[in-house]
Amino acid sequence: MSFDTLGLALLFRFSPETAHGLSIAALKAGLGGRFDAGFDPRLASTVCGLAFPNPLGMAAGYDKNAEVPDALLRLGFGFAEVGTVTPRPQPGNPKPRIFRLPDDRGVINRLGFNNEGHAACLARLKARASRGGIVGVNIGANKDSDDRAGDYVEGVRTFAPLASYLTVNVSSPNTPGLRNLQSRESLADLLARVMAARDESAQTGANRPPVFLKVAPDLSEAEMDDIAMEVLDKGTDGLIVSNTTLSREGLIDSRTGAQAGGLSGRPVFRRSTAVLARLRQRVGPGLPIIGVGGVEDAQT
């Protein structure tokens, strides 16, 4: 049995959320190791003025509170995205709220933006600001907010001075009503306010981070039309496709699959990639798109 297989077997003795916490603790303790082999220069790219050493990043959702972005970069990731972070701390949904589907190589979560809030995340990012590397910040809205678009504006104002890029996450299925922000009228208002806040922040500081919109994989053709038009109209810098899916199509483990929440891993790959392709057709070749969902190897 290899070391990796043994480690995975040990982690599977714990609940998914406990295992997640243990992995964060291990990285904080310096047990993650370091990738020192260097990257093939052919993997490098410059997107929105950011020089990525390689195209493989750690998506938001793993390091919710910006505890280990540098440890992730040392592992060899070309970039790390922390969050989702909301203005005020919130506990998220009741436990258990993460479910493994090993036969499907997937996970269902209904975490609900559990995080320590802007202040805690900002303090950690300030402490590592001189270390370099591309670290994006994924911003969201509090579950009980009366002005969800205002929460995103607050996120932009808080993190624009430090973030390599910002992600506007309107695609989590675990905050009731959040995906409604992807509708044409709501998205137009949200993006107008967010982009204005980013530009205002840039006037008072040196940093002008690109803004990406993260969307769901469960979009209709009409919804994709609306998203593409608003992203282009409001000057959004790029898209991230996609978040988790509500679909359970083709699952082997239908019993666990009946759990509520967003499905990630291998089962979302085909759906996420299809939405990415359709949005690419709509926005044209020039707008950057970061693909997320079911990435397991160089082929995916």
Residues assigned a catalytic role:
172
Q: Is the peptide bond before 46 cis (omega within 30 degrees of 0)?
A: no
How far is the C-alpha of 291 from the C-alpha of 75, rounded, in Å? 20
User: In this predicted model, what pLDDT tens digit does every residue of 251-290 receive, in sequence order?
Assistant: 999 999 999 999 999 999 999 999 999 999 999 999 999 9
* 228 in Cβ contact with 282 (< 8 Å): yes
**229 and 169 fall within a common domain:** yes
pLDDT at residue 6 in the model: 65
C-alpha R_g of the chain: 18
pLDDT at residue 38 in the model: 87
Residue 297 covered by a domain: no
**27 and 46 fall within a common domain:** no
**5 and 87 fall within a common domain:** no
Residue 300 covered by a domain: no
**55 and 14 fall within a common domain:** no
**97 and 163 fall within a common domain:** yes
Residue 182 covered by a domain: yes
How far is the C-alpha of 201 from the C-alpha of 191, rounded, in Å? 15
**24 and 44 fall within a common domain:** no
How far is the C-alpha of 213 from the C-alpha of 186, rounded, in Å? 13
Residue 248 covered by a domain: yes
Least confident of 165-179, 238-252, 272-286: 165-179
How far is the C-alpha of 177 from the C-alpha of 58, rounded, in Å? 26
Residue 103 covered by a domain: yes
How far is the C-alpha of 119 from the C-alpha of 85, rounded, in Å? 10
Residue 296 covered by a domain: no
**49 and 3 fall within a common domain:** no
* 219 in Cβ contact with 246 (< 8 Å): no
- Which domain covers residue 10, as residue numbers? 1-32
Beta strands per DSSP E along the chain: 45-47, 50-52, 57-58, 79-85, 98-101, 106-109, 135-139, 166-169, 211-215, 238-241, 262-265, 289-291
DSSP character for 234? Answer: T
Alpha helices in 243-290 (DSSP H): 254-257, 269-283
pLDDT at residue 185 in the model: 87
**2 and 53 fall within a common domain:** no
**61 and 1 fall within a common domain:** no
Q: Name the pTM for this structure.
A: 0.95
**55 and 6 fall within a common domain:** no
Number of domains in the chain: 2
User: In this predicted model, what pLDDT tens digit does every residue of 178-206 receive, in sequence order?
Assistant: 888 888 889 999 999 999 999 999 888 77
Residue 158 covered by a domain: yes
Residue 175 covered by a domain: yes
Q: What is the CATH number of the domain that holds 180?
A: 3.20.20.70
10, two tokens: 């040990």
How far is the C-alpha of 134 from the C-alpha of 58, rounded, in Å? 11
Averaged pLDDT for residues 130-138? 95
Residue-wise DSSP of 3-69: HHHHHHHHHTTS-HHHHHHHHHHHHHTT-S----S---GGG-EEETTEEESSS-EEPTTSSTTSSSH
How far is the C-alpha of 294 from the C-alpha of 253, rounded, in Å? 17
**126 and 229 fall within a common domain:** yes
**7 and 105 fall within a common domain:** no
Contacts of 52 (CB under 8 A, 6+ apart): 44, 45, 46, 78, 79, 134
pLDDT at residue 2 in the model: 52
Is residue 33 scored above 90 in pLDDT? no
How far is the C-alpha of 243 from the C-alpha of 169, rounded, in Å? 9
